[in-house]
Amino acid sequence: MSRLLAILLDTARQETRLLLALALPICGAQLAQAGMSVADVMMTGRLSATDLAAVSVGSSLWLPLMLFMTGTMMGLTPVVAQLLGGRRIAEITPNVHQGLWVALALGVLAAGLLWFAVGPIFTLMDVPEAVAERSRTYLFAVAFGMPGAALFQALRAFSDGMNHTRPSLWISLAGLAVNVPSNFVLIYGGDGMTALLGPWLPDWIQALPALGALGCGIATALSLWTMCLTMALYTRHSRVYGRVALWQVPRLPHWPMIGELLYVGLPIGVSIFVEVTLFTLIALFIASLGEVTVAAHQVALNYTSILFMLPLSLSMALTVRVGNVLGQQRYRYARRVAWHGIAFCLAVALINSLLLRFTAEPVIGLYTRNAEVAGLALSLVLLAMIYQVSDSLQVNLAGALRGYKDTRIIMAITLASYWLVGMAGGHWLGTRGVPGLTGPLGVHGYWIGLIAGLTAAAVMLGERLRRIGKAVAHGERDPLHS
């Protein structure tokens, strides 16, 4: 028993610092990118309700596409991490080049969808014509930034896999620094500039048109390409990537290598897309329960989502650490690294739950002064304390499995747990309740369904990690060719 405790303490001493060194910059980058969405909403909302609605509706279409691309490119991270761990440096560049081809194709495809598919979607959703028109122009502009977003995510996945997560933080902050002033100039035009800085501005600046939602889309595209080009320049000139000559000899598409990347990455993209659409559908179902319920749901979800950034970042860091150790062929130690990451994430989730418990009332007061909304949101936060634990566990179990390049099972478990347990179960509880015990539980039923779905995912992913870790540690499975 004492020997086991000594092993666990030794693993914690070695791995906690490494895990946090990777995770904290990722967390900062996530917050910076979320800040762009916040800036878009706040700045268009100050112009008009129609522009705000246009950007909100448009964001509900392009953000899931970008998250799908992000998830797909995350498949490059364990590939690079394993090659780095195994000191197979020469193989990193061709894999990254194929990742860039995949990213370019996904970015162009996403742009095409935003250009040509939004009209029928708006008709199906019965979006008011004024909102639909401005949202179309907003998405038309955003579409130009989608290839840049995809290429940035590919380069970020490469950098993360090389154990360098700080560049994504600084470059995301650079994107935010471009987004906010660009938003101001393009959304409000010359009148906004004059109101802010005074009438001394040159006539050509004062004559700039206020583009509203279209300006917001242009600013978003500019910030996405800024992040892409800055990341490209950094990976070209920085010495931190050692002998990886990423930009010297371009390689044409190599279909077997692209197939391997998609084999690992596509299931991640699908899993993330399924999760995003799950929350979108729940929001639509809850909309029928009244504006107080909708407002309380959004307040509780927004607050808990901010706290969830660190567990999410830990999961991405855990993918890198597990991949590195597997590349070094330290298969037994990789198992310890994975489960240490899960234990650490559980501790973080419990701390987050305590924060929710003691800060919920004053924080909710910052969101709303409506007593009815605040009371309902507070009751949801109590459920969110359990939700934090289940969600943190499942996302970090998935992160460890990605380090093993075991991604297809994550997709299958996500589909089953989110849709069959979370969505179907939550809708049943929300609209019908528990037969013989309660009536319809409303929004609480949907949240209980979410907790059940996330818990089911955590249990299944935990069992999968136990089996994979044991098989690899005993030489029954080759993690380098999963």
Q: Does 10 fall in a domain? A: no
Q: At what angle do helices 92-116 and 76-85 cross, to 10 degrees?
A: 170
Shared domain for 278 and 369, answered yes or no, is yes
Domain count, the chain: 2
Shared domain for 224 and 332, answered yes or no, is no
Q: Does 6 fall in a domain? A: no
Residue whose pair of structure tokens reads 């992040």 in the numeric block = 227
Shared domain for 406 and 318, answered yes or no, is yes
Go through the chain and tell me how many residues it has.
Answer: 482
Q: Does 8 fall in a domain? A: no
Q: Which of 201, 219, 253 is the last residue of a domain?
A: 253
Q: Answer yes or no: are the C-beta atoms of 81 and 403 closer than 8 Å.
A: yes
Range of the domain at 187: 20-253
Shared domain for 125 and 87, answered yes or no, is yes
Residue 466: per-residue pLDDT = 93
Q: Does 287 fall in a domain? A: yes
Shared domain for 181 and 113, answered yes or no, is yes
Residue 389: per-residue pLDDT = 92
- DSSP conformation letters of 288-302: TT-HHHHHHHHHHHH
Shared domain for 319 and 461, answered yes or no, is yes
Under 8 Å CB-to-CB from 60, ≥6 apart: which residues? 280
Q: Does 12 fall in a domain? A: no
Which parts of the chain have pLDDT scores under 50?
none
Shared domain for 313 and 409, answered yes or no, is yes
Shared domain for 249 and 119, answered yes or no, is yes
Shared domain for 309 and 430, answered yes or no, is yes
Q: Does 230 fall in a domain? A: yes
Under 8 Å CB-to-CB from 205, ≥6 apart: which residues? 190, 193
Residue 7: per-residue pLDDT = 67
pTM of the model: 0.87
Shared domain for 235 and 329, answered yes or no, is no
Q: Does 168 fall in a domain? A: yes
Q: Does 193 fall in a domain? A: yes
Distance CA 178, CA 408 (A): 37
Residue 125: per-residue pLDDT = 67
The two structure tokens encoding residue 27:
């967390």
Shared domain for 319 and 374, answered yes or no, is yes
Shared domain for 369 and 433, answered yes or no, is yes
